[in-house]
Amino acid sequence: MKDSNFPVRINKYLKDKGIASRRKADDLILNGEVTINDEAAQIGQKVFLGDEVAVSDRALEESQNKIYLLVNKPVGIVSHNPLPGQKEVLDLLPQNMRGKGLAVLGRLDRASRGLMLLSNDGTIVDKLLNPRSKHEKEYIVEVDKPLRHFFLKRMREGIHLSGGITSKQAEVEKINDTTFKIVLTEGKKHQIRRMADAFGFAVRDLKRIRIATLTLGKLKEGDHKILKGKELEKFRNALE
């Protein structure tokens, strides 16, 4: 942490060090697991340059065992609960990455492909998946016939779906005659397919290319990479 960033509240200090989210840091402080200059830290206390901050071994071990993985899911792979004969996203990982409590954060149906995030960090689940969070997810969608202006307009404005649900406003950009890009801040089941179906379009291909600050980039289908460093820090900051 640069000198110019001091003084800083203790919960932000712990977040910036990658030890815990601000909320989790407050819990650690309340439980007496954080000290500043050998004295129990207090909620809202500030850390100054030169202060000695210590965290319990238990909390440190927990923070060091957090795993964040990006996976490029191919069509035909299920996100969870595979039926006999089906492959799930975890099957794409090497054996030594399994059994670590990884959960899929933001599912894709079997016929869809693209970016998925897997993690065993429970502190980010609600922040990412809660409908109130409004974190963006971006998709490239190909449909079975030429796009119409009215269809794109309604996709932007929101569409009444079955079950009394109305989709929220979305960013929609036409790419070519049958392909468009859409950015959602919600994740209803089969939402894009249902939105297209409401106007007589069938989705031929659906690919997620971004989740909040995370992008698919050059990650090949079926491959994974560990999220770390500045990319992880940027993502965690975006969830705050």
What is the Cα–Cα distance from 11 to 202, expressed in whole angstroms? Answer: 48
Structure tokens belonging to residue 60: 């440190």
Which residues is 183 bridged to in the sheet? Answer: 138, 171
CB 208 within 8 A of CB 139: yes
Give the active site residue among 109, 121, 197, 205: 109
Coil, strand or helix at 202: coil
What is the Cα–Cα distance from 187 to 121, expressed in whole angstroms? Answer: 20
Coil, strand or helix at 35: strand
CB 125 within 8 A of CB 103: yes
Active-site residue 197, yes or no? no
61: left (phi over 0), alpha (psi -120 to 50) or beta: alpha
Integer CA distances (angstroms), 73 to 20, 30, 47, 154, 224, in order = 28, 40, 42, 29, 9
Closest CA to 210 of 70, 69, 67: 70
Q: Which residues are catalytic?
A: 109
